Structure 1
Amino acid sequence: MAAHRKSAHRKPKQRLFTGSAARSAAALALAGAATATAATGSAQAEPRLTAAQVKSEVDQLYRDAEAATERYNGAKEKAGDAARSVEALRDEAARRTDLLNESRHALGSLASAQYRSGGLDPALQLLLTSDPDQYLERSSYVEMAGDRQAGAISGIRRQITGIDQVRARAEDESAVLAAREAELARHKKEITSSLADARKLLHTLTAAERAAYEDSTGATTVGAGAASGAPGPVVAPNSRAAEAVAFAYGALGKPYVWGATGPSAYDCSGLTQAAWQAAGVSLPRTTYTQINAGQRVSRSQLAPGDLVFFYSGISHVGLYVGDGKMIHAPRPGAPVRIAPIDEMPFAGATRVA
């Protein structure tokens, strides 16, 4: 015990800083930690990417986001179909259940009426009646009522089986809907992740480098005709193509928003779908389905109104307007604009009408 007290006596007392002394000590401690972290980080940090490297990576991230957007659009369309199917099947089950309840009520009424009229044994009824003709009439009614009752019971059984089948189909479609919704969430995460990474990379550039990048991608310009629409009458193979092109000119300057189909914003396939919808033609929702929505044409045969597709995965589409140019919704941050079709890898073209 004495040794313990002696050891405790030798332990120096801790001094607590207060006021400005405490603030100074904390500041010194933080500065030392920051210096140590910076030294460690500088030893492990990767070399800063050049502006060209950043541009290349950002372009790829935007392409990844657009490809995911088209997958999202397709999944959304299928999810909508599944939701409508589930709703229709549930409505059908409800209607059939109402009919079943009506049939059950009718069967109950029939059974009550039969009991009231035919509760006595037929032989006893014959003994009690003084009119054989009346008995024969009554017995015929009882027999007929029995047949009707048996038929009603059989009908109810069929109704119950039918309702069970409809409900089973509704459960199957509900499972499909859940899978589509999970797919939607996955594609949405892919899109937002790619766009977030692109923004982070762009913020590593200087203001001048970012401005140069935006200029190079046309994010700050929309091309001629944005303010006044199409420059004069649209020359196209037919009136519907001319209407689609005119619509696209009217959309110049509107923002790109993934998943959007207008009227205030569009993604690439949303713009082409809306343009042809204005001309009275219904196009499918995604790039990889729109390419099969008409007659395939070669690049040398392009005419205004044709759909032009890009990249090996058919992940981007624009509306050809002539003179080697198209109107398209490029990417987030870049509004609908006129651009040359050779600024991206050409993948094919389709003539809608």
Structure 2
Amino acid sequence: MTSRYIARHRAATMHSVRTGQFLRTAAGIGLSIGTAVAGTSVAQADPAPAEEVVEDPASSPVDTSPLPTDADGLLDRLNEASRQAEATSDRVVDNNAALEDARVLLDRANEAVTRSAEDADAALARVDEVRGPVTELSQAMYRGATVDPVTAAIGAASPQEAIDRRAYSSALNATRTAAVEELEDALTDAAAYRSLALRTKATADFQLADYGQQQIDLAARTAELDSLKEQISTAVDGMSPEQKQRWVDRNGPIDVDVDQFLNGASAVSSGVVGAALSKLGSPYSWGAAGPDAFDCSGLMYWAYQQMGKSIPRTSSAQIAGGTPVTRDQLQPGDIVGYFSGVSHVGMYIGDGKIVHASDYGIPVQVVSVDSMPFAGAARY
């Protein structure tokens, strides 16, 4: 019986190792889901002080009233509408990525459920296997097969028989105790497998449904903004030469000597800054990431790609994903975020300047780092 118990104990030990591995795997899936959700939340907007109401251009109401006829009013409306369109475009990209991640996590959770069902069945089989010996031992004790060591020794015919009886009694009681513990462990394992796997799947299902609903909401807002983009395009294209120049110059473009900025810079910064500066004059296009047209985060993304480095695709995610940098710590190659919620970005090139893809009708240009409200910076 002792050898049979040892064999079962070894099997139980191996099963416990597998249990631990499964629990870590399932917990990892849950953590991945939580991380994905948290990451998306951070990417959408930076937290603000409780007393401050932070405007979110990706969800603020769209002004669909007729465009102003005066130059200043028209430029202000176009600026606000363009920020809304760019922020919404970023949100769509973020949500599509999160939705795909949720699908992957759900597939992994479903696999975990399948594995847990198999392991739970194995645990229940061990329950049946262990139940027999426990029952036999209990019945043997009921019939008096085991007695306390003192009684066993008193009834012995000789000292050797007393020793044998006592050893047998102790071994039998120890075996019974171990068998009962193994039975309890097997039952606990079976319940843990099913419970954790089903909870993990439920979490993945919820996240997938949540991102799916967000996708529906964003699709409706995108359709609304598509109409607004057409108005922006029509208005900008129909501007008088004077109005169009005011639009292009609204952030104070600066002529730069590209070679001067790259001279003496580090290999990394000169590479990524050089890539971004090589696109000076390229047109702006919502949702574009090169090589011929760009939105603001698309230019950052493309420039880093030329250095073989992948960074997040959208404005707020780019600021959230790198190492935070303060305004006075900026170095060439750092990405600078602007406006609440980080709805716009540019690349610091040194000497208090950034290169950025500004807006529809405005080519990629260099402007002062302080030409827009600073909202943070990140280094990659």
TM-score for the superposition, normalised by structure 1: 0.58
Which of residues 315, 324, 329 is equivalent to 2:357? 329
The CA distance in 1 between the partners of 2:375 and 2:264, in whole Å, is 19
Which of residues 69, 94, 98 is equivalent to 2:114? 94
The CA distance in 1 between the partners of 2:375 and 2:74, in whole Å, is 29
Any stretches of 5+ residues in structure 2 without a counterpart?
Answer: 1-64, 135-139, 144-171
Which of residues 157, 163, 182 is equivalent to 2:213? 182
Query: Could you tell me which amino acid in structure 1 is paired with residue 214 of structure 2?
Result: E
The CA distance in 2 between the partners of 1:311 and 1:348, in whole Å, is 6
The CA distance in 2 between the partners of 1:66 and 1:77, in whole Å, is 17
Q: Is the 8 A contact 1:297 1:351 kept in 2?
A: no
The aligned residue for residue 334 of structure 2 is: 306
Cα 1:312/1:206, change in 2 over 3 Å: closer
Using the TM superposition, give the Cα deviation of residue 109 of structure 1 relative to its aligned residue in structure 2, in angstroms. Answer: 7.6
The aligned residue for residue 159 of structure 2 is: none
The CA distance in 2 between the partners of 1:254 and 1:102, in whole Å, is 63
Query: Could you tell me which amino acid in structure 2 is paired with residue 330 of structure 1?
Result: S
Q: Is the 8 A contact 2:285 2:294 kept in 1?
A: yes
Q: Is the 8 A contact 2:89 2:222 kept in 1?
A: yes
The CA distance in 1 between the partners of 2:90 and 2:76, in whole Å, is 21
The CA distance in 2 between the partners of 1:180 and 1:85, in whole Å, is 13
The aligned residue for residue 69 of structure 2 is: 50
Cα 1:153/1:110, change in 2 over 3 Å: closer
Query: Would you say 1:318 and 2:337 are equivalent positions?
Result: no
Query: Would you say 1:157 and 2:187 are equivalent positions?
Result: yes
Higher relative contact order (CA 8 A, sep 6+): 2
Q: Is the 8 A contact 1:257 1:267 kept in 2?
A: yes
The aligned residue for residue 10 of structure 2 is: none
Q: Which moved more, 1:182-191 or 1:58-67?
A: 182-191
Q: Which moved more, 1:159-168 or 1:149-158?
A: 149-158
Of all paired residues, the percent bearing the same amino acid is 20
Query: Aligned to 1:340, what secondary structure does the other structure show?
Result: strand
Using the TM superposition, give the Cα deviation of residue 97 of structure 1 relative to its aligned residue in structure 2, in angstroms. Answer: 2.0
Query: Would you say 1:294 and 2:313 are equivalent positions?
Result: no
How many residues matched? 288
Using the TM superposition, give the Cα deviation of residue 318 of structure 1 relative to its aligned residue in structure 2, in angstroms. Answer: 0.8
Any stretches of 5+ residues in structure 1 without a counterpart?
Answer: 1-45, 115-120, 124-141
CA deviation vs aligned residue, 1:280-317 (integer Å, no higher than 9, x gap): 6664554345445332124xx75432323333443110
CA deviation vs aligned residue, 1:120-143 (integer Å, no higher than 9, x gap): x999xxxxxxxxxxxxxxxxxx99
Q: Is the 8 A contact 1:307 1:318 kept in 2?
A: yes
The CA distance in 1 between the partners of 2:226 and 2:245, in whole Å, is 19
The CA distance in 2 between the partners of 1:70 and 1:188, in whole Å, is 13
The aligned residue for residue 169 of structure 1 is: 200
The CA distance in 2 between the partners of 1:346 and 1:62, in whole Å, is 16
Q: Is the 8 A contact 2:327 2:377 kept in 1?
A: yes
Query: Aligned to 1:330, what secondary structure does the other structure show?
Result: coil
TM-score for the superposition, normalised by structure 2: 0.54
**Cα RMSD after superposing both structures:** 5.1
Query: Aligned to 2:374, what secondary structure does the other structure show?
Result: strand
Question: 5 Å matches for 1:170-319?
Answer: 170-200=201-231, 202-203=233-234, 208-209=238-239, 217=247, 231=259, 234-235=262-263, 237-250=265-278, 253=282, 256-258=285-287, 266-276=294-304, 278-279=306-307, 283-291=311-319, 293-298=323-328, 303-319=331-347
Question: 5 Å matches for 1:8-157?
Answer: 49-50=68-69, 52=71, 53-76=73-96, 78-104=98-124, 153-157=183-187
The CA distance in 2 between the partners of 1:97 and 1:261, in whole Å, is 45
Using the TM superposition, give the Cα deviation of residue 57 of structure 1 relative to its aligned residue in structure 2, in angstroms. Answer: 1.9
Q: Is the 8 A contact 1:54 1:201 kept in 2?
A: no
Cα 1:54/1:304, change in 2 over 3 Å: same
Query: Aligned to 1:304, what secondary structure does the other structure show?
Result: coil
Query: Could you tell me which amino acid in structure 1 is paired with residue 69 of structure 2?
Result: T
